[in-house]
Structure 1
Amino acid sequence: MKFGWDEIRLFTAVAEAGGLTGASTNTGMSPATLGRHIASLENNLGSSLFLRSPRGYQLTELGEDLLAHAQNVSNSMSALQHWSDQLNVKPTVRISAGPWTSSFLSQHMAELWQGETDLMIELVTGLERVDIGHRHAEIGIRNARPHEQWLAGRKLGEVAYALYARADGDIDHKPCYIGVTDTLSGARSAQWLNQNHSENIVLRASDSMSVREMAASGVGQAVLPCFIGDQDSRLQRSSPPIDALRTEQWLVMHHEERHRPVIRRVADRLAHLLQNHQSLFEATKKADPNSPPNSL
């Protein structure tokens, strides 16, 4: 006999739901209509696919065999539908970065996305490392060389950190420090502050932006990346760059994806942007805090 896609789809829905009622919710069809479709399919096969009971529909041996084939067809149809949907969707390049790097990239987004109608860029911001191997992002900015064999990495430079305080404040009088909590507490900068100034931490915050705002208000000193602190006219360095906190900066992509033209286009622009500002990231030259972000 010849199978139709609707027959396969409805049979799979009933089998996976274990009955007509659950399948009705998933398909939008009434239980009676679904029952007629299943009965018609069984009549055409000349054998039962389900054992009916008050507890639901249980697959027969033939039903189990058919479900295995049906699920393969369903997966193929879903993949085909996804492929079809992508034909009418702009290619999207997702860039994974931490909060501070995402803030910098946002300021310079005109250098990454140049008004193209055939490209969409998404910033995936978070402290947790996004899984590029499973295509949760196309490009990542990381602080260490990738060790996964399926990832390609390119070192761009280094990132310096220092203590910052309010620009017009008295940083020598009663030194107080602003710490972090929750997910930020595992960061190297948080551990360094706890190891060196734990007795003088007077405030804590669970997000980076709040830490910066507290420092700018004058209540204490905070550890910040120099490319953030040096751009903020409200802040001044209250320490030299901290050698123990200096990290590398890597651009990371999947080996199989990195040669796709749209990803390569964004990756090249991203590398050019970050490398052009290495003096800011490495704290070898301070930015003019009164100049707009794009003129760094």
Structure 2
Amino acid sequence: MKNLDWNDLKAFIHVARSGGLSAAAIELRSSPATIGRKMLSLEQALARRLFIRRQTGYELTEDGRALLAKAQAMEASARPIEDWLSADMRRPVVRISAGTWIANLLSANFSRLWTPDDPFHIGFKTAEARLDIAHREVEIGVRNRPAEGMNLASRPAGEVAYAPFRARNQPVQGAENWVAIAPDDAATPSARWTNAQPNLTIAAWANTPRTLYDLISAGVGTGVLPCFAGDRDPLLERAGEPIAELHHRQWIVMHDDDRHRPEVRKVIERMAALIAAHAPLFAGERPLGGD
């Protein structure tokens, strides 16, 4: 016997309860012919006759009644799961576009963005490239400049500082090695800054910020990170002063219409509060082990 399709069993339950194809087809939003074919297929799969077909309708055989009892038990067991999935799918998703390090901080403080009682989900779109908010690829973006173009709004979200970091307590032998995002993959000002320095000895290249971090923490070399990422990490220490030319203001950017949706507005407010609470960290004023 081949595996039974639960959809065929649900169709069987409807036919058995209504006593015919037409009423079952209305309930299932299908056609009587399609439901009839499903019943024939089910009988063939079970090698049992389930109905006595009359002009007045479909009457269950003894095997049909036995199957109905078992199928109804399955239906009762499946209903809580289907209800749960149905309710879950009705929850809208608020999508946040953020770079690697802001996504890391938001994830570490996720309970301040979302609770199980919220009637929505959060979806992270982590990428250094900008996703298109105007065309609704995401609802919210964290950017290093205010909104550009029509149908967008922005909200300032504090200052961001950058500094060179190295593995904590790693002895420097001779000329200090650096690690960097490869020029072809340098999508951010900090990545381009490292590549523009003429006198740095690059020991290794990375193509993502996460790999850059792994190289720094492994002691391969010094690399540039936002202070709110490096200063939170006990494996790292600053290898120099903040880089003034990389310092910038941060913005929460959203679609001008979507920002009025209750779930989007709530996430924006929570993100703004979270970032404001960490303002000294973002601004480079809280080096780990500092005063």
> Shared topology, TM-score over 0.5?
yes
Query: 2: CA distance between counterparts of 1:181 and 1:198?
Result: 16
Q: Does 1:158 align with 2:159?
A: yes
| Partner SS, residue 165 of structure 1 | strand
Structure 1, gaps ≥5 residues long: 1-84, 290-296
| Alpha-carbon shift at residue 286 of structure 1 (Å) | 2.6
Q: Does 1:278 align with 2:279?
A: yes
- Give the letter aligned to residue 217 of structure 1: A
| Alpha-carbon shift at residue 173 of structure 1 (Å) | 3.4
Q: State the match for 2:206 in structure 1.
A: 205
- Give the letter aligned to residue 260 of structure 2: H
Distance change (3 Å), C-alpha of 1:206 and 1:112: same
Query: Which residues of 2 match residues 255-266 of structure 1 at below 5 A?
Result: 255-266=256-267
- Give the letter aligned to residue 257 of structure 2: E
Query: 2: CA distance between counterparts of 1:247 and 1:171?
Result: 30
- Give the letter aligned to residue 119 of structure 2: D
Query: 2: CA distance between counterparts of 1:90 and 1:140?
Result: 20
Query: Which residues of 2 match residues 133-172 of structure 1 at below 5 A?
Result: 133-171=134-172
Query: Which residues of 2 match residues 231-250 of structure 1 at below 5 A?
Result: 231-250=232-251
Aligned length: 205
Query: 1: CA distance between counterparts of 2:199 and 2:150?
Result: 39
Query: 1: CA distance between counterparts of 2:97 and 2:87?
Result: 22
| Alpha-carbon shift at residue 168 of structure 1 (Å) | 0.6
Q: Work out whether residues 177 and 200 of structure 2, in 8 Å CA contact, stay in contact via their aligned partners in 1.
A: no
What CA deviation, in whole Å up to 9, does each residue of 1:60-86 have, x standing for no partner? xxxxxxxxxxxxxxxxxxxxxxxxx99
Q: Work out whether residues 160 and 241 of structure 1, in 8 Å CA contact, stay in contact via their aligned partners in 2.
A: yes
| Partner SS, residue 257 of structure 2 | coil
Q: Work out whether residues 183 and 192 of structure 2, in 8 Å CA contact, stay in contact via their aligned partners in 1.
A: no
- Give the letter aligned to residue 144 of structure 1: R
What CA deviation, in whole Å up to 9, does each residue of 1:220-241 have, x standing for no partner? 1001111111111111100111
What CA deviation, in whole Å up to 9, does each residue of 1:32-67 have, x standing for no partner? xxxxxxxxxxxxxxxxxxxxxxxxxxxxxxxxxxxx
Distance change (3 Å), C-alpha of 1:116 and 1:173: farther
After TM superposition, the structure 1 stretch with the greater mean CA deviation from structure 2, 124-133 or 111-120, is 111-120
Over aligned residue pairs, what C-alpha RMSD do you find? 2.1
Q: Work out whether residues 166 and 218 of structure 1, in 8 Å CA contact, stay in contact via their aligned partners in 2.
A: yes
Q: Work out whether residues 157 and 248 of structure 1, in 8 Å CA contact, stay in contact via their aligned partners in 2.
A: yes
- Give the letter aligned to residue 283 of structure 1: G
Q: State the match for 1:107 in structure 2.
A: 108
Q: Work out whether residues 280 and 287 of structure 1, in 8 Å CA contact, stay in contact via their aligned partners in 2.
A: no
Distance change (3 Å), C-alpha of 1:87 and 1:196: closer
Q: Work out whether residues 171 and 238 of structure 1, in 8 Å CA contact, stay in contact via their aligned partners in 2.
A: no
Q: Work out whether residues 165 and 171 of structure 1, in 8 Å CA contact, stay in contact via their aligned partners in 2.
A: no
- Give the letter aligned to residue 251 of structure 1: I
Q: Work out whether residues 237 and 288 of structure 2, in 8 Å CA contact, stay in contact via their aligned partners in 1.
A: no
- Give the letter aligned to residue 234 of structure 2: S
Q: State the match for 2:67 in structure 1.
A: none
Q: State the match for 1:225 in structure 2.
A: 226
Q: Work out whether residues 161 and 226 of structure 2, in 8 Å CA contact, stay in contact via their aligned partners in 1.
A: yes
Query: 1: CA distance between counterparts of 2:88 and 2:107?
Result: 28
| Alpha-carbon shift at residue 198 of structure 1 (Å) | 5.1
Q: Which has the larger Rg?
A: 2
Distance change (3 Å), C-alpha of 1:284 and 1:113: same
Distance change (3 Å), C-alpha of 1:186 and 1:264: closer
Per the normalisation by structure 2, the TM-score is 0.66
What CA deviation, in whole Å up to 9, does each residue of 1:232-265 have, x standing for no partner? 1111100111001112210111111111111111
